[in-house]
């Protein structure tokens, strides 16, 4: 998520905590967020190549509306590549988890259902959510909270169904090549037809391989833009056919122009919260 405040004020809006040590579950990253203002905060959700879980532990519930106008309150899951998603609230405090879609498939038992959607965590985990939230509220430190969340995820992951090795391989290749690899070549490498890869990947990841590649490439481009690189240079470096193609993808995913994304406030603090993006792991 990114805040709606000017970029230079973004860091001052949030107290951000990260785990003191790497987690035990591959493909998972965590960060804690506490708003440093009691004022109402509006958030724009920017798509990432990860499934995002937000455990709501603040005094006021987070409210999130997706592109269709449906609203969710409290702890929730944001699937891959949502559009038009906005959140708001007061006294926001939450523990966010980003999961590789390969891991998320086992943790949630759903992938295609999460593609581009915001879903209440209650709908996926039922009564367990209230118990986990109580533990998070009672925890004395963020590291204790991270341990509680990791244990909950690990239990679900161990009991869940893993993705096909071929799907995990293709996701890993898309990430390593920053989306710049032909899906047909990957299908040939795993010995599947294009049609079979398309169907299995979409059912287990939540997007088609082509859309997933575009999302990974967009994420890299967005961070390059936020780092101050010119759009024309970013387009050339990342492999867009030209600057207009970069503009089209950024507009499609972020709902904003490359110029606006370059000063997106949340990207100004993104590297603080997610310095080591384990969620991009193929594991």
pLDDT in tens, 52-108: 999 999 887 777 877 777 788 889 998 887 777 777 777 788 999 999 999 999 999
User: Model confidence over 219-236: pLDDT tens digits?
Assistant: 999 999 988 899 999 999
Q: Using an 8 Å Cβ cutoff, are 252 and 216 in contact?
A: no
pLDDT on residue 6: 37
Secondary-structure class of domain 165-265 per CATH: mainly alpha
Identify the bridge partners of residue 97 per DSSP, sorted by sequence position. Answer: 30, 53
Within 10 Å of residue 8's Cβ, how many Cβ atoms? 10
Q: Are 51 and 156 in contact (CB under 8 A)?
A: no
DSSP structure string for 46-101: PP-SSEEEEEE-SSS--EEE-TTS-EEESSEEE-SS-SS-EEEESS-EEEEEEE-H
Task: Assess if CATH 2.60.40.10 describes domain 2-162.
Answer: no
Integer Cα distance of 273 and 275 in angstroms: 6
Q: Where are the domains of the chain?
A: 2-162, 165-265
Nearest to 64 by CA among 53, 52, 72, 74: 72
Q: Which is more confidently placed, 63 or 120? A: 120
Percent of the chain with pLDDT over 90: 51
Residue 40 Cα distances to 27, 35, 105, 217, 280, angstroms = 33, 10, 34, 33, 32
In three-state secondary structure terms, 118 is strand
């Amino acid at each position: 998520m990114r805040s709606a405040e000017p970029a230079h004020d973004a860091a001052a809006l949030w107290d951000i905590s990260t785990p003191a040590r790497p987690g035990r579950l591959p493909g998972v990253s965590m960060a804690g967020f506490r708003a440093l203002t009691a004022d109402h905060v509006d958030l724009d959700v920017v798509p990432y190549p990860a499934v995002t879980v937000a455990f709501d532990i603040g005094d006021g519930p987070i409210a999130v509306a997706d592109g269709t106008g449906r609203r969710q309150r409290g702890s929730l899951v944001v699937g891959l590549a949502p559009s038009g998603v906005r959140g708001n609230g007061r006294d926001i405090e939450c523990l966010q988890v980003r999961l590789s879609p390969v891991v998320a498939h086992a943790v949630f038992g759903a992938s295609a259902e999460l593609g581009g959607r915001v879903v209440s965590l209650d709908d996926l985990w039922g009564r367990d959510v209230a118990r986990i939230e109580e533990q998070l509220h009672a925890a004395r430190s963020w590291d204790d909270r991270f341990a509680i969340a990791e244990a909950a995820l690990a239990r679900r992951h161990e009991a869940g169904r893993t993705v096909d090795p071929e799907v995990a391989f293709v996701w890993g290749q898309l990430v390593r090549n920053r989306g710049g690899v032909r899906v047909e070549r990957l299908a040939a490498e795993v010995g599947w037809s294009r049609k079979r890869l398309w169907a299995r990947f979409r059912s287990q990841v939540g997007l088609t391989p082509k859309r997933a590649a575009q999302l990974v490439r967009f994420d890299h481009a967005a961070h390059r833009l936020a780092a101050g690189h010119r759009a024309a240079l970013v387009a050339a470096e990342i492999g867009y056919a030209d600057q207009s193609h970069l503009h089209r993808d950024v507009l499609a995913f972020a709902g904003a122009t490359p110029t606006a994304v370059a000063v997106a406030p949340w990207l100004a603090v993104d590297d603080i919260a997610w310095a080591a993006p384990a969620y991009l792991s193929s594991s």
